[in-house]
Amino acid sequence: MADYDLIIIGTGSGNSLVTEDFADKKVAVVERGTFGGTCLNVGCIPTKMFVYAAEVATTIRDASRFGVDATLDRVRWPDIRDRVFGRIDPISEGGRDYRVNGPNTEAYLGHATFVGEREVEVEITSPGGKHAVGEKVRITGEQIVIATGSRATIPDVIESSGVPFETSDTVMRLAELPRSMAIVGGGVIGAEFAHVFSALGVQVTQVQRGDRLLHRLDAEVGTLFTQQAQQQWDLRLNTQITGATVTQPGADGGGADGGGAGVRLELTQGDPLEVDVVLVATGRRPNSDGMGLEVVGVQTHSDGRVVVDDHGRATADGVWALGDVSAPVQLKHLANHEARVVAHNLVHPEDLQSFVHTNVPAAVFSHPQVATVGLTEEEARAGGHDVTVKMQRYGDTAYGWAMEDTTGVVKLIGDASTGLILGAHFMGPHASTLIQTVIHAMSFAQPAQQVAKEQFWIHPALAEVVENALLGL
């Protein structure tokens, strides 16, 4: 049985733990899926590459209002797809090979299960490592980090029906661009893919059980986003799926390549949908099950997240967890932060650092783009703050005029008694970039007026929308 100083289960942000501080340590890395984790392979990075292609298509369609006549002749889906994965796949493969052949690392390409204190059994499921597929290998580690990420959740009505469906893990590798698509779910993943596929010419219908998209957003901004979405694709609000069946081959709307079987969805209201492809985007759940955590006393929350303390320690000695499998929100930048903290704590147990889970920003790369940090207006009022709100439109700035923007907004929520910013919600072009100034101010507890007045803001840059919002708070 091989013994290691450190075992890392999962190669997303967990892979970044192996820094120079561990150069003299013996490290095992376990991965049952594609090396590099969700963000690299099926999440943040490839999706944004598809989003950029969608933005190019949208810009062409929108050009005439600026006096530029342009037409979108066609979309070459295979070229769009292959541009993305022609970059992504070699990085994943290179990362795997580096760990397999690393000077102080060994990669086990399979599923890890806890079988005893500081001991796991890995069933090898993929070739490419030093062990054969099907082999079961037991290893021990002085410290073990669980960084197994998350996976798509599938509603029972879809899963039990036997119909074919895609998730965010698979939809980007479709052989051909479908003619029609139903997207089930109204969260971040659904909103981004609705933009991507509708911009590329797919007839998209999005089914959302609530009364607006992005329900975790500030309600006012979420409503504005929903109104914009309704102008771009078919949106069925307050609607649920009650049944799903495969249509006959050759039927109207059959198959992603135009010739196979499609899917018919029965809805709680409105006519049934018949589409080529169903994309399920109803959230993701932590990959904590099936690991034998109960064998060693690693506890989980009711939603499957591994219980950890502020330092990343799980409820069993020598076991840590980070990222989607344990974090309160599933965001790559939060997972990276947690990985840095855990890496430090593994090397410096006498000087433990703590996770920071306040003022964690998030973005939705749809059309329009959305970015958010801190409290919503509803949360701020419920928390008893002396709430003040400023809504600033992009179109009230010089660069907003240049863009002919009529929908972009910045909403700031502050505490009138302290002058501090409690929350910020941006919707419009470059929202994820523009919000960074406010993230900085909130992170360092800088009053809104200080941020607005004690620095220069370039004129006529779009950032003036942030300046004006701060001045008005």
pLDDT the model gives residue 251: 46
pLDDT in tens, the chain (473 residues): 899 999 999 999 999 999 999 999 999 999 999 999 999 999 999 999 999 999 999 999 999 999 999 999 999 999 999 999 999 999 999 999 999 988 999 999 999 999 999 999 999 999 988 899 999 999 999 999 999 999 999 999 999 999 999 999 999 999 999 999 999 999 999 999 999 999 999 999 999 999 999 999 999 999 999 999 999 999 999 999 999 999 965 444 444 444 456 999 999 999 999 999 999 999 999 999 999 999 999 999 999 999 999 999 999 999 999 999 999 999 999 999 999 999 999 999 999 999 999 999 999 999 999 999 999 999 999 999 999 999 999 999 999 999 999 999 999 999 999 999 999 999 999 999 999 999 999 999 999 999 999 999 999 999 999 999 999 99
pLDDT the model gives residue 461: 98
Q: SS3 for 226?
A: helix
Residue 374's beta-bridge partner residues?
423
How would DSSP label each residue in 51-85?
Answer: HHHHHHHHHHHTGGGGT---------HHHHHHHHH
Specify the DSSP class assigned to residue 210. Answer: S
- Residue 192's alpha-carbon distances to 362, 367, 370, 471, in angstroms, are 13, 8, 10, 32
Q: Which residues are catalytic?
A: 459
CA-nearest of 189, 225, 217, 191 to 372 is 217
Q: Tokens 């909103």 identify what position?
A: 191
- Residue 139's alpha-carbon distances to 95, 225, 261, 311, in angstroms, are 22, 50, 46, 25
Given the DSSP bridges, would you call strands 409-415 and 273-275 parallel, antiparallel or unpaired?
Answer: unpaired
Q: Sheet with 362-364: list strands edge to edge.
A: 362-364, 370-374, 421-427, 409-415, 387-393
pLDDT the model gives residue 462: 98
CA-nearest of 112, 109, 148 to 287 is 148
Chain centroid to CA 456 = 34
CA-nearest of 385, 383, 359 to 371 is 359
Task: Report the alpha-carbon distance of residue 282 to residue 108 in Å, rounded.
Answer: 31
pLDDT the model gives residue 260: 52
Task: Report the alpha-carbon distance of residue 375 to residue 196 in Å, rounded.
Answer: 29
CA-nearest of 203, 175, 173, 208 to 189 is 208
pLDDT the model gives residue 249: 54
Q: Tokens 């963000």 identify what position?
A: 39
Element (H, E) at 290: none
Give all domains of the chain, ordered by start, each with its CATH number. Answer: 4-42+81-149+287-347 (3.50.50.60), 154-282 (3.50.50.60), 368-472 (3.30.390.30)
Cβ neighbours of residue 422 closer than 8 Å, sequence gap 6 or more: 374, 375, 380, 385, 387, 413, 414, 415
Specify the DSSP class assigned to residue 316. Answer: S
Which residue type occupies 231? Q
pLDDT the model gives residue 1: 87
209 close to 306: Cβ distance less than 8 angstroms? no
